[in-house]
Structure 1
């Protein structure tokens, strides 16, 4: 059983990171651009609806499970430092926890909360312009972090 635990976590984490990277990539490359091209009130209302619905979807369990698996892999890699793939596990977990989870909690979520406080399109247009710029910038970080962790978990699997 133990011989399958680490490879199973690596596969789960690689797939989870890949799915998260794809979602964030879509937001970074065209969703936020499209929302920015429509009227601010409509864009704000659409983003608010997305933020509500994403928490009710399968996104949240995947988000949380992948984050926990990344933390576990970072610890396992540190405890098995001399083994093949350990450095990739530690690096992948650290990058994912800081660049995806940390950025989400300390950057994107507060911006989402500020958008809610501004109202569904009734807040100042400046809030929407700032939101689009800052949220997208931090989303780029989440995208790149998820891609990097995905690649590192695949490298760890290959090295093992």
Structure 2
């Protein structure tokens, strides 16, 4: 294994681990966290999610979510140069799935929903009305990014073999 192949292997492994970790976090939200928050009074659910949305902005999670996306950008470029190699298509598809389906969906859909929720007073009528649509909309887009991260993990793992 040359230095280049070794570095590429490490980058792929980082993306497999990062996208798998992100898929797991998002899966937890889709499978039980949002359901648990929905069982609370709207004011309690809103306050809890507002706290989660502040706490999630930390170096560990941001590195997993966005650091993986940055490495995927590099892997897209690399895979386009090596399309003649059979594993490159897995690398390309997995990286694009992660960039568009996980990072893109997060930025375009989930973050704006979080920002809107951050602006409401949890005990207000406006907050309760927003919370009802937030639960449905945010969870739908979370399902999308969960599936994208999961599929990206599988595709990029296939590029390792």
Tell me the TM-score normalized by structure 2: 0.94
Q: Does 1:154 align with 2:161?
A: no
1-structure distance, mates of 2:55, 2:76: 31
1-structure distance, mates of 2:95, 2:67: 13
How far residue 63 of structure 1 moved from its aligned partner, in angstroms, is 1.4
Q: 1:115 to 1:59 in 2, by over 3 A?
A: same
Deviating above 3 A after TM superposition, structure 1's stretches of 4 or more consecutive aligned residues are: none
Tell me the TM-score normalized by structure 1: 0.95
CA contact (8 A) 2:121 2:127 kept: no
Which of 5, 8, 12 is the aligned partner of 2:7? 5
Give the equivalent residue in structure 2 for 1:89: 91
2-structure distance, mates of 1:120, 1:53: 17
How far residue 117 of structure 1 moved from its aligned partner, in angstroms, is 1.5
CA contact (8 A) 1:88 1:153 kept: yes
Give the equivalent residue in structure 1 for 2:113: 111
CA contact (8 A) 1:73 1:93 kept: yes
How far residue 146 of structure 1 moved from its aligned partner, in angstroms, is 0.4
Give the equivalent residue in structure 1 for 2:35: 33
1-structure distance, mates of 2:59, 2:51: 12
How far residue 57 of structure 1 moved from its aligned partner, in angstroms, is 5.0
Give the equivalent residue in structure 2 for 1:141: 144
How far residue 31 of structure 1 moved from its aligned partner, in angstroms, is 0.1
Pairing of 1:64-83 with structure 2 (within 5 A): 64-83=66-85
- Segments of structure 1 that go 5 or more residues without pairing to the other structure are none
- Segments of structure 2 that go 5 or more residues without pairing to the other structure are none
2-structure distance, mates of 1:56, 1:119: 24
